[in-house]
């Protein structure tokens, strides 16, 4: 039976990313749900790089929280403190909870409104279009995917990718990294490994010097380096002792913060021993929604669903049609993994999971 009316339990979700948006959406008719996020929208993170080369793609991937959270309260602010029974936000709200879900993944300073975010993509696209040469700093998934998008959509641009590690894509195996490197080089992307660029120290506009003393000329640059975990604010809260030495929240097998019966943590912020991937963050969301429903229904602790860490599966797009994929026993590249990810970037599925239609596919996408 649905938990209705005044008896509905209060579930507060902090963070409206891949994990938080899904748990909020899933519980909205079973509980009194409040979602706290500093921006008014949820964004499909891995589609950002496509949106930089095709800004209209963002119409489907930047989604107002209100579009999927129809029956919940949205607070557009940052959580700054937690006590045993309420959350405090930067704009002065004190929000009581019966169950709390922390899903603050990574902190990225992005615009507050969807319109501003879409305008931002237009500007980045103008930068790409008007540049003859482009520097990308960072060879993780963002840097590699951005280089791939530009190489395919704007093959006349000179793209240089600088990465401080000895190989690309260090979050997956070396075989996948080699395949990505070969693909980029075959698409005329110059890749410099084992070097970094100090962006605070470039004297002439458009001239960059790497740590190895090499000079790179580029009309613009994009920074694709790791962004910090969204957990530093927890250091002064009741959960301060639940952070491990990497700043991640330690959770039990039911995804509750260890030692707390009504506080869950999901997504990239957790210490679950698995790759930090959005498809796993969404699995955490569904397990947590089930567990909160079970607890609200008064079920025994022993009935709670156990989360089993996922295996190391990852797909990195290389433009619109190709990709490199690492599955449990095999690593492949080319059109087959490209068919799985690169055309639609799981946008239709991610929207459907939030009760939305596919949205209008752009002309470029339809034509693929
Ligand atoms: C380029 C790129 C490609 C990727 N490709 C894939 C892929 O193909 N497949 C895949 O599965 N994963 C992929 N990932 C990883 C995936 O994006 C992450 O694992 C996923 O976003 C984690 O979700 P999350 O909800 O834990 O955190 P996030 O998506 O980082 O969301 C965190 C949310 O919390 C909010 N927040 C932070 N601090 C606070 C606070 N104090 N108060 C309130 N709100 C706060 C933020 O604003 C944000 O909305 C990719 C990532 C990148 C960057």
Q: For residue range 287-309, list pLDDT tens digits in order.
A: 999 999 999 999 999 999 999 99
**Model pLDDT for residues 57-87, shown as the tens digit of each residue:** 999 999 999 999 999 999 999 999 999 999 9
The pLDDT of residue 360 is 72
Alpha carbon distance 354, 360 (integer Å)? 16
Q: Is 194 left (phi over 0), alpha (psi -120 to 50) or beta?
A: left
pLDDT, tens digit, 9 for 90 and up, residues 114-150: 999 999 999 999 999 999 999 999 999 999 999 999 9
Query: How much is the pTM?
Result: 0.94
Note the pLDDT of residue 367: 35
Contact between 154 and 52 under an 8 Å Cβ cutoff? The reply is: no
pLDDT at 111 over 90: yes
Domains recognised in the chain with CATH numbers: 5-38+77-108+227-303 (3.50.50.60), 114-226+313-362 (3.50.50.60)
- When pLDDT is averaged across residues 254-264 and rounded to a whole number, the result is 97
344 close to ligand 1 (CB < 6 Angstrom): no
Ligand 1 in contact with 45 (CB < 6 A)? Answer: yes
Q: Which atom of ligand 1 is nearest to the CA of 145?
A: 1
Q: SS3 string of 278-343?
A: HHHHHHHHHHHHHHHHHHHCCCCHHHCCCCCCCCCCEEEEECCCEEEEECCCCEEEEHHHHHHHHC
Please tell me if the CB atom of residue 103 comes closer than 6 angstroms to any atom of ligand 1.
yes
Average pLDDT over every residue of 330-339: 93
Task: Label residue 32 by pLDDT band (50, 70, 90).
Answer: very high
pLDDT at res. 172: 87
Please give the pLDDT value at position 35.
98
Q: Using most ligand atoms within 8 A of CB, pick from 104, 223, 310, 311 the residue to mutate for ligand 1.
A: 104
Residue 366: its pLDDT value, please?
37
Using a pLDDT cut of 90, give the percent of the chain over it: 88
CA angle 353, 358, 362 (to 5 degrees): 140
Q: What are the pLDDT digits (tens) for 230-242? A: 999 999 999 999 9
Beta carbon of 139 within 6 Å of any ligand 1 atom: no
Q: What is the pLDDT of residue 261?
A: 96
Q: What percent of the chain has pLDDT over 70?
A: 95
């Amino acid at each position: 039976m649905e938990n209705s009316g005044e008896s509905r339990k209060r579930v507060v979700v902090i963070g409206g990313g891949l994990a938080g948006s899904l748990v909020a959406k899933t519980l909205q008719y079973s509980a009194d749900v409040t979602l706290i996020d500093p921006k008014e929208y949820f964004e499909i993170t891995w589609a950002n790089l496509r949106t930089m080369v095709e800004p209209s793609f963002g119409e489907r991937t930047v989604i107002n929280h209100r579009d999927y959270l129809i029956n919940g309260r949205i607070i557009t602010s940052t959580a700054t403190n937690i006590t045993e029974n309420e959350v405090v936000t930067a704009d002065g709200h004190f929000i009581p909870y019966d169950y709390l879900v922390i899903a603050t993944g990574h902190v990225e300073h992005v615009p507050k409104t969807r319109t501003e975010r879409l305008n931002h993509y237009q500007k980045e696209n103008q930068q790409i279009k008007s540049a003859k040469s482009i520097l990308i700093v960072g060879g993780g998934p963002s840097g590699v995917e951005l280089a791939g998008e530009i190489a395919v959509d704007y093959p006349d641009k000179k793209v240089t990718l600088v990465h401080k590690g000895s190989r690309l894509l260090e979050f997956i195996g070396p075989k996948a990294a080699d395949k990505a490197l070969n693909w980029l080089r075959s698409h005329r992307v110059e890749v410099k490994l084992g070097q970094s660029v100090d962006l605070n120290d470039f004297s002439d506009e458009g001239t960059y010097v790497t740590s190895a003393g090499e000079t790179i000329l580029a009309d613009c640059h994009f920074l694709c380096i790791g962004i910090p975990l969204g957990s530093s604010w927890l250091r002064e809260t009741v959960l301060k002792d639940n952070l491990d030495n990497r700043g991640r929240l330690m959770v039990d097998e039911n995804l509750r913060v260890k030692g707390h019966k009504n506080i869950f943590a999901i997504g990239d912020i957790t210490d679950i021993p698995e790759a930090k991937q959005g498809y796993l963050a969404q699995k955490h969301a569904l397990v947590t929604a089930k567990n909160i429903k079970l607890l609200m229904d008064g079920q025994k602790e022993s009935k709670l669903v156990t989360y089993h860490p996922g295996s190391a599966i990852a797909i990195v797009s290389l433009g619109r049609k190709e990709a490199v994929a690492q599955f449990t026993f095999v690593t492949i590249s080319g059109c087959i993994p490209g068919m799985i990810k690169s055309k639609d970037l799981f946008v239709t599925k991610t929207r459907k999971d939030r009760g939305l239609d596919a949205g209008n596919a752009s002309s470029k996408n339809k034509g693929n």
